[in-house]
Chain A
């Protein structure tokens, strides 16, 4: 009997006393939808967040955005400071976008500030990361665009851009420092009169931003690095001469890409890269409309191929100058030529590597007009 009593006491104690120590009630939390890092004074971090609140009533939901900004020593410190300002529990687990101010990423190694995201199991690892021209804080302070809060707006904007292959698919997880051997590029946002807008991508060398590519260049860059999104559309010149009116442009949809990247190391330990790109495209807009003629089409293919090859060479040149290894050539060297890699001063070597770039294009479809 006494033993049974003990069991009953233990059982009810487990039931009644243990509860709720790690509870995290949804209704008590305040959720950040977008966060931004800027350079603060004295080497401190200026962290800005927008908390999205929603009120559901019978007539529908109503969004509002509350912006807080603190000056902190580290990300975790920023969270503590923000928690002192925010009513309810501060919760970063639903961050959709992390913005990095341009000045901050050009001068600072930003990865130490990301460390906390890789340690907390509840981290929003799929949050997107973007660089903003000027300060991230200014963009977050826009608060709302139309009915959407700023976090949701930028998230949707980046999502759409990813699908049309204007920007690479990058989130906090893919930025993890363990993933070595290539350099990443982040979307580059500008504040266009109170409206965030995409303006190409920011190239990084290591963890510092070094160069910007505009949207046209970024599309080609993504083709060259073999990371096409759902679809990719480019408007190119259809004549060699300088285009003067809209008849001189053609728009193509890339259907299929075939990329060959070869890193060759000669006997003298000279590194060279062969990058061949084969595209199969659909013409979706061709105002001059002469494609029913096979010679015209072949001519157009040739012009476009040359044009893309030239553009690609320019992009690779830019990348080399910016010390941005977006194709992962370092990774190939690490895995296939480890001895060479150990002797190599990569930062010095990379801009010297000769690239053999060729883009060939084939039109497979010209739409339903014959």
Chain B
């Protein structure tokens, strides 16, 4: 048992090394009057790192030095924002002549050093007890392109990028409200990554915001570089197969969720927002539903929900039928299936596992390889293996059909995370079906449903509006009714205002809205 306890324990208290490490929080250090003292302090604090540049500026009567890390600073900006105005001025005065948008005056050297790491240039003056930190960081943003994994056919084609600043701007652009609040955090004791939560002050439930705040501030890790790391720290149940936080790279999807009273978390370096709390059905909503008309949107959404059942149940149903209940197959189909199954040397569960794992392998291989080779892998997998495996007699034709249908159905889910969980869930159901037939499938689905009903995402029920049932919210979960029908927000994030519109359908003829 020692093995399990070692693997699963958090060894926070046991590890000897953890106890020995002492982290001394940087104390305040006043800017000294002498320039040389300041410079050598900075050098020492950064351990004489070689990308630290100190440039003397000859424009002051007193001596002045500009310190910055040239790896994070933009030399053009230094020239434009610092050197040019200072050198051109008659009587240089940093308070007046530094024209950058962000100039901070500090008396604390430690603070100045922290800023230098983030791409500020710091100006020290001989005899002055202030230093000026000017933001001149280099910005390498890629274009605001449509995210590759959340494509929409109609509607907006912009997506988040790795810069939180730009992402926030994209969200603000969608919601021009003074109620949109941004709260900043700095995560990771070493990485000090910027993170923000965004919510609408008049909608999001204050208790929810407080809960998220508590969970984020509780993170006590050295390294929190990535939004997806935060996800694991703040989600309720990490071992649930279902994701409890929605990741999206689409500003319109984030904005729509904010307007339902949810909270989004953005992080520097992560081109996605984490939306919480969410329900199961949120993962089956796609921006395309809202960009097309309601009939089309409803049809597609029902199709997607149906695909959930296909992706989980179809292989297990086939296994159960072929190994337990073949009397349910209609007569002609029965003999067709029997004819092709007869020569298979092993039980259907092995056949199915073999084929399912092959498909997962193919998908993984196709994903890792560069696009041109990836395609050829697809062809090799799809045509060659699919055909050869039947001719050799390893897998039957019906099984190939079933597995292919299942794979397609699992791709339909608009969220990548949910697609993974669906793909994972079908394996236990398949095994249950191979052991107990239809009864096994029933037990499997019962367990999944029990889990879904029990699961919570930040205090709101995960399986809403199916359980707890609220028929009014079905309008935007199973189907999507026209917008003028959606008078109330979904209740699962517990928004402060439930009503989002009253009569919106104006005009004389039809004003039933």
Contacts and interface: CB of A to CB of B under 8 A. Distances in A.
Interface of A: 1-2, 4-5, 15, 18-20, 22-27, 29, 31, 52, 54-56, 61, 63, 93-94, 96, 122, 124, 155
A19 B335 contact: no
Contacts of A19: 434-435
A25 B434 contact: no
Main DSSP-derived SS at the B contact region: helix
A4 B338 contact: no
B331 A25 contact: no
Given A22-B324, A96-B331, A27 B342 contact: yes
26 contacts: A4-B4, A15-B431, A18-B435, A19-B435, A20-B435, A23-B323, A24-B323, A24-B324, A24-B326, A25-B322, A25-B347, A26-B321, A26-B323, A26-B341, A27-B342, A27-B344, A29-B326, A31-B334, A52-B335, A54-B336, A55-B339, A55-B342, A56-B336, A93-B326, A122-B327, A124-B327
Given A5-B1, A25-B322, A56 B431 contact: no
Contacts of A5: 1
A196 B321 CA distance: 34
- Among A19, A55, A56, find the residue whose CB has the most chain B CB atoms closer than 10 A: A56
A25 B322 CA distance: 6
Contacts of A55: 339, 342
B107 interface: no
A4 B339 contact: no
A27 B338 contact: yes
Contacts of A94: 327, 331, 334
Given A23-B323, A24-B324, A93-B327, A31 B1 contact: no
B1 A4 contact: yes
Given A22-B324, A24-B326, A93-B327, A56 B4 contact: no
B337 interface: yes
Interface string B313-328: 0000000011110110
The 5 closest A-B pairs by CB, nearest first: A56-B339, A54-B339, A1-B1, A93-B327, A26-B326
A21 to B, nearest CB: 10
B338 A26 contact: yes
A61 B339 contact: yes
- What range describes how many residues of B lie at the interface? 20 to 34
Contacts of A22: 324, 437
A2 B4 CA distance: 11
B5 interface: yes
B271 interface: no
A94 B327 CA distance: 7
B145 to A, nearest CB: 46
A23 B324 CA distance: 5
B397 interface: yes
Interface in B334-393: 334-344, 347-348
A25 B323 contact: yes
A193 to B, nearest CB: 28
B194 to A, nearest CB: 42
A26 B342 CA distance: 8
Contacts of A54: 335-336, 338-339
B36 to A, nearest CB: 63
Contacts of B327: 93-94, 122, 124
A4 to B, nearest CB: 7
A29 B336 CA distance: 14
Contacts of A96: 331
B352 to A, nearest CB: 13
Contacts of B336: 54, 56, 61
Given A15-B431, A54-B339, A93-B327, 9 more contacts: A1-B1, A24-B323, A26-B321, A27-B322, A27-B341, A54-B335, A55-B342, A61-B335, A94-B331
Contacts of A18: 435
A124 B326 CA distance: 12
Contacts of B326: 24, 26, 29, 93
A25 B335 contact: no
A22 B436 CA distance: 8
User: Of B323, B336, B343, which is in contact with the most chain A CB atoms at under 10 Å from its CB?
Assistant: B323
Contacts of A63: 335
Contact of B5 (A1, A25, A31): A1
A324 to B, nearest CB: 31
Nearest to B428: A15
Contacts of B437: 22
B241 to A, nearest CB: 17
Nearest to B342: A27
Interface in B1-37: 1, 4-5
Contacts of B435: 15, 18-20
Contacts of B434: 19
Nearest to A122: B327
A18 B439 CA distance: 14
A85 B344 CA distance: 23
A94 B335 CA distance: 10
A24 B348 CA distance: 11
